[in-house]
Amino acid sequence: MKVGPKYKICRRLGSDMFEKCQSPKYVISEAKKTKVQKGKRPKPLTDYGKQMKNKQKVRLSYYISEKQFSNYVKSAMSKKGVSSTQKLYEDLESRLDNVVYRLGLATSRALARQMVSHGHIDVNGKRITIPSFRTVIGNKVSIRERSKNSALFKDVTEKITTSSIPSWIKFDLKSMEATITNKPAGAQTNLDLNSVIEFYSR
């Protein structure tokens, strides 16, 4: 999924959106723009504007299309007996590309998405090429055997041992295999999912 000019998106939604916006080049670029625009006061956002901004931030953080994201939210809101926010978080975090990212195999969800799409990841020993594939409790996620020598997985042991793997994923360093042991919980995100639910509830 193409997300458009990353600098422009970071300018609108925040520099924490993409790794590219953490670079000195971006900081210098923004400093120059701020100097040129000095004296111009940005218009304050309305509540609707803030919700729209948060919605876009969440959607682009997970690299999901507008239609697909809308389906995730509607599904979460229709679920009875569970918080819509928690259900949305579970559905987003359970995506295979996100699991690969959370394991530390990829430095970004974009790269994790690429790894899955190109067939480098197995689930229960079966090759999966759909980034949105939903993992469930008991699923075993691993690097495809023939992909282990790929440059993508160079220093993979070091990457995994130094990453903060969520409590709902158990990783066996010996077998290099991750197991989904629970539903995603304890929102490991600074994204405002409540605002997203409010936006779609209007």
Quick check: pTM over 0.85? Answer: no
Confidence band of 91 (pLDDT split at 50, 70, 90): very high
Given a contact cutoff of 8 angstroms between Cβ atoms, the answer to whether 29 and 36 are in contact is no
pLDDT at 155: 87
pLDDT, tens only, 151-165:
999 888 888 888 889
- Write down the CATH number for the domain with range 6-90: 1.10.1050.10
52 pLDDT exceeds 80? yes
12 pLDDT exceeds 80? no
pLDDT at 5: 66
pLDDT at 141: 98
30 pLDDT exceeds 60? no
pLDDT at 45: 76
Domain boundaries, the chain: 6-90, 95-180
Can you tell me whether residue 86 is helix, strand or coil? Answer: helix
Confidence band of 115 (pLDDT split at 50, 70, 90): very high
Confidence band of 199 (pLDDT split at 50, 70, 90): very high
194 pLDDT exceeds 70? yes
pLDDT at 142: 96
CA angle 114, 116, 118 (to 5 degrees): 65
Contacts of 39 (CB under 8 A, 6+ apart): none
Query: To the nearest whole number, what is the mean pLDDT of the chain?
Result: 85
pLDDT at 38: 56
Confidence band of 42 (pLDDT split at 50, 70, 90): low
Residues 137-152, mean pLDDT to the nearest whole number: 94
Sheet containing 121-123: order of strands: 126-127, 121-123, 140-143, 177-180, 169-172
35-61 in b/e form (b: 16+ CB < 10 A) is eeeeeeeeeeeeeeeebebbbbbbbbb
Contacts of 133 (CB under 8 A, 6+ apart): 95, 96, 116, 123
Q: What CATH fold (topology level) applies to the domain 95-180?
A: 3.10.290
Residues 102-117, mean pLDDT to the nearest whole number: 94
